[in-house]
Every structure is written in C-alpha cells, then in structure tokens.
C-alpha cells in the first residue's frame, strides 16, 4: 500500500529537489532555473559579425539620421576598397589606445588641455582619435551630401574641401567645392568666431583668413579654412551660417568618411550651434552588430523609459560629458570596490572609444569575478589591451555572466550581451570587452561597445545623460 503525500510534503520535496539541482552543475534544468536571471545564454556564432547589411531598420522621423559603423557592410563604400582597407582587430585596438591616451592627455588637472603645435599657422584644435560611427548630412547651397564620423569627444565639424591645397585622402563622395556653394563664407582672422578655436584664448592668426587645425591620437589630422556654411539635417532642419572647417590638408584613418561631426560641449559643437532649436538635446542608438543600423536624433520628446544620471561637475570645463559610476556587478553580484576608486578617477562617456576603460582596481575586480563564472570554458592568452580571453571554437552555445554598471542617481545599466565579449580571432579567441587603465587616477571611459542597443540621451541643457534599453527597436 502506497502512503499518500500531503501537499505540504510535496512542496518540501520539490523545493529540496530544486536546491540540489542548483548545487549540481551537471543538471541543466536546475542550473538554468537558478542562473537564468544573471546569465546570457547565446549561440557562439552570434558573436561574429555578418558580412551582409541588415536593412530592416528605418529612420522614422525628420529629426533622426541613419547611423552605421564605418567598417561594417552597411556603409556604402566600394567593396574592393573596403576589403583592401578594412582594419584588423590589432589596428582597431591600437587606434583605440591612441584615442584613450589623447583623452587622458586632455583631461589633465582642472580640465586644462595639452595641445600640440600646428604645422601651419592655425588656431589650436582638439587632439583625440576619430570615432567609429557615421551619419550623412548636407552642406552647401545647393546641398551636397557628406558622410561624417560623429563624435561626442570632439567639437569642430569639418569636411575635406576643394581644391585640397596640400594633401587629401580618398572619400566616398566628391569633396565640397566652396566656389560652387552660394552660402559658403570664410571667417576672418579678426572675427570673434576665430578666437573660439583657441582653447587658451590668446594665439593670433598670421593670415587674413582664420585657419583651424585638429590632430587626432591615431596620427590623423585636418588643417584648413574656418568658415560658415548651410548645414542640412533634413528638409525641415536647415541651419544657416553653421561654423565648420573646410579642410585643405587632411590625412589619416578616416576610411572614406568626408570628415567629422562634432557633438562635444563647447560653443563650436553642433549641439551648441543648434541649441535654439534642439535645446542641446540629442540621442543615439548604436546597433548590436556592425552589420545593422542605428540612429542619431536631435531634439524631440524624451521617452519615459529613459533613466537619467547627472553630468559630473568635474568635467564641466572640458568638451567631454562626465558621469559618475557608483557600482559594478557581475553575474548579479555587486563587486566590492571602494567608492573612492570611481570618485577619484571620474568617468567620461565617449562615442569614439571602442572599449570601456576602468580604474585598475575596478577592472581587476571585474575581470576576476568574470573568470570565476567562466571556468567551464578554456582560457587563452591575452590580446592587445585584453587579458581575459576564451576559446569557444568547440561550443555551440555558451553562458555568459551579465555585467552591470550603476551610475549616480540609481541608474542601473545591464550591458547588452554584444557589449560583454569581443571576438579578436573568430571563436578561437574571444575576450572580455573591458580594459584597465594604468592606475586608479586616470579617468574611466565608458566606450561605445558597452553602449550598444541602448538609447543614449545627452541633455546638456539640463545637465544629464540618460539610458533606455532596447533603444534601436
């Protein structure tokens, strides 16, 4: 005769069974039930970029520009040229290191920049590496379209111009010809606008026409005439007398882009020059893969799903948008990192830096916690700036611990799975997509890989930056 089990006893046995399953890694159902809240379970092939552009994304309003990765299949550059010039992962990470070094050089004490001397008489410009994502805008009358790298760490917008007095690199579209635009005007050296180029406010011109110069950490540069032109973002978003650089000597790793769109915080940036209409409000979403599209938007209404963190006062005198990281988590567990580590270094969010840089102590805690939850997979040697790498070539699916970043004001950001790992050699070497600074003093940089799939909202007028998940949908 079988003795009946009461409902209370049954509940006890079920709970005990689930507990034993959670302790037994060999039992898949129990493990998934317990860990699914803090693990990403993905197919390893999803880590690799596609060679075809996903065309499903469409910009839905006139305030938005389509955004693509400049090395991905969605950018309309000749396939032959793209294949020949596609940068290797080592080149990408080396360029990223140069950009980080340039940002750190500019962020000396109290926001005093360290500028390099120009090779031609010119006002000083930014010294920072160029970014990774491009948008298309119109310049001139009649309007001509140009593909520009957008960059929250730069202020001056510039494009290559005819007659290209010294050197120019190959770009997608024909260069801007000032002689064929009725709205182009050079700025004189005596103009107050010319003085805006000089961050120290003292250097003078040696010619009647104001000249600009920008140098980038990867060795790229642009030198030319400082001028005004009509900027067209859409048929209903046209701005006359937009301050920009008309490049006559340009060289570097711009990969077919005609120039750069500056989205920094000084008076020369696009948000500042269009503040009357857009109130220094813009947002973007970087897609999960370089084979997909995102957007860059200006003005408009802010969604209620956006959670804001205040801009840090420490970076107010710089072109950078400063944030305050308060906590990191791995696999649902908050890491034991003293709050002074983040408050000492400070953090800037940057659209052009690829890999997030953390204070040395914070990165060590992050990588250590990550490794402890990845013991099921064979580790490999490091690569460039990465020291935590794995071989997934024999796996079909993998389980990755979630990584969270918390900002001042209680804003918690669960990094998308596309922002946690970075494949550097197919599936044979896939690395944790974070790196450490050399110490705990240099500023942390929240890079574009960790921003993927989020709507990132910059609201400089209200002194805040916001995040909303699933922002590219």
The residues assigned a catalytic role are 151, 350
Rounded alpha-carbon distances, angstroms, from residue 244 to 155, 168, 349, 438, 461: 10, 17, 24, 36, 22
The length of the chain is 473
d(CA 186, CA 404): 48
Strand (E) positions, 144-216? 144-151, 158-160, 185-186, 211-215
Unique residue bearing structure tokens 């205040």: 310
Classify the C-alpha dihedral 316-317-318-319 as positive or negative: positive
Tell me the two tokens of residue 44: 């390893």
Picking from 247, 434, 428, the residue whose alpha carbon sits closest to that of residue 357 is 434
Count of Cβ atoms closer than 10 Å to residue 209 Cβ: 15
Tell me the two tokens of residue 101: 């070094």
d(CA 362, CA 154): 27
- Buried b / exposed e over 147-181, threshold 16 CB at 10 Å, is bbbbbbbbbbbbbbbeeeeeebbebbbebbebeeb
- Buried b / exposed e over 269-280, threshold 16 CB at 10 Å, is bbbbbbeeebbb
């Amino acid at each position: 005769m079988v003795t009946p089990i009461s409902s209370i006893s049954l509940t006890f046995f079920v709970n005990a069974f689930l507990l034993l399953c959670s302790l037994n890694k060999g039992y898949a159902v129990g493990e998934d039930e317990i860990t699914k809240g803090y693990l990403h379970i993905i197919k390893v092939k999803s880590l690799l970029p596609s060679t075809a552009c996903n065309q499903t994304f469409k910009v839905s309003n006139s305030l938005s520009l389509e955004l693509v990765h400049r090395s991905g299949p969605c950018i309309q550059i000749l396939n032959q040229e793209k294949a020949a010039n596609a940068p290797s992962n080592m080149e990408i990470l080396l360029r990223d290191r140069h950009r980080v070094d340039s940002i750190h050089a500019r962020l000396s004490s109290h926001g005093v920049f360290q500028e390099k001397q120009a090779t031609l008489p010119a006002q000083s410009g930014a010294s920072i590496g160029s970014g990774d994502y491009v948008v298309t805008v119109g310049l001139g009358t009649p309007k001509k379209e140009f593909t520009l790298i957008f960059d929250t760490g730069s202020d001056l917008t510039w494009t290559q111009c005819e007659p290209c007095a010294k050197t120019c690199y190959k770009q997608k579209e024909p260069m801007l010809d000032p002689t064929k635009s009725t709205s182009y005007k050079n700025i004189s050296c005596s103009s107050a606008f010319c003085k805006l180029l000089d961050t120290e406010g003292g250097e003078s011109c040696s010619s009647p026409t104001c000249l600009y110069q920008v140098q980038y950490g990867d060795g790229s540069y642009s030198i030319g005439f400082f001028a005004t032109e009509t900027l067209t973002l859409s048929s209903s978003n046209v701005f006359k007398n937009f301050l920009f650089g008309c490049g006559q000597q340009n060289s570097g790793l711009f990969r077919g882009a005609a120039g750069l769109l500056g989205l920094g915080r000084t008076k020369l940036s696009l948000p500042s020059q269009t503040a009357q209409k857009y109130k220094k409000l813009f947002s973007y979403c970087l897609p999960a893969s370089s084979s997909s599209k995102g957007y860059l938007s200006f003005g408009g209404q802010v969604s209620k799903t956006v959670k804001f963190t205040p801009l840090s006062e420490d970076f107010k005198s710089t072109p950078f948008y400063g944030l305050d990281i308060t906590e990191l988590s791995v696999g649902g567990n908050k890491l034991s990192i003293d709050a002074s580590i983040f408050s000492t270094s400070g953090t800037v969010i940057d659209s052009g830096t690829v890999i997030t840089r953390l204070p040395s102590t914070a990165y060590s805690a992050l990588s250590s916690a990550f490794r402890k939850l990845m013991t099921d997979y064979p580790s490999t040697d490091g690569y460039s700036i990465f020291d935590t790498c794995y071989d997934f070539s024999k796996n079909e699916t993998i389980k990755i611990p979630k990584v969270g970043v918390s900002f001042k004001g209680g804003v918690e950001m669960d990094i998308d799975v596309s922002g946690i790992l970075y494949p550097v050699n197919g599936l044979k070497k896939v690395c944790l997509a974070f790196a450490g600074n050399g110490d705990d003093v240099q500023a942390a940089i929240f890079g574009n890989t960790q921003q993927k799939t989020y709507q990132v909202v910059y609201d400089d007028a209200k002194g805040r930056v916001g995040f909303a998940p699933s922002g590219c949908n």
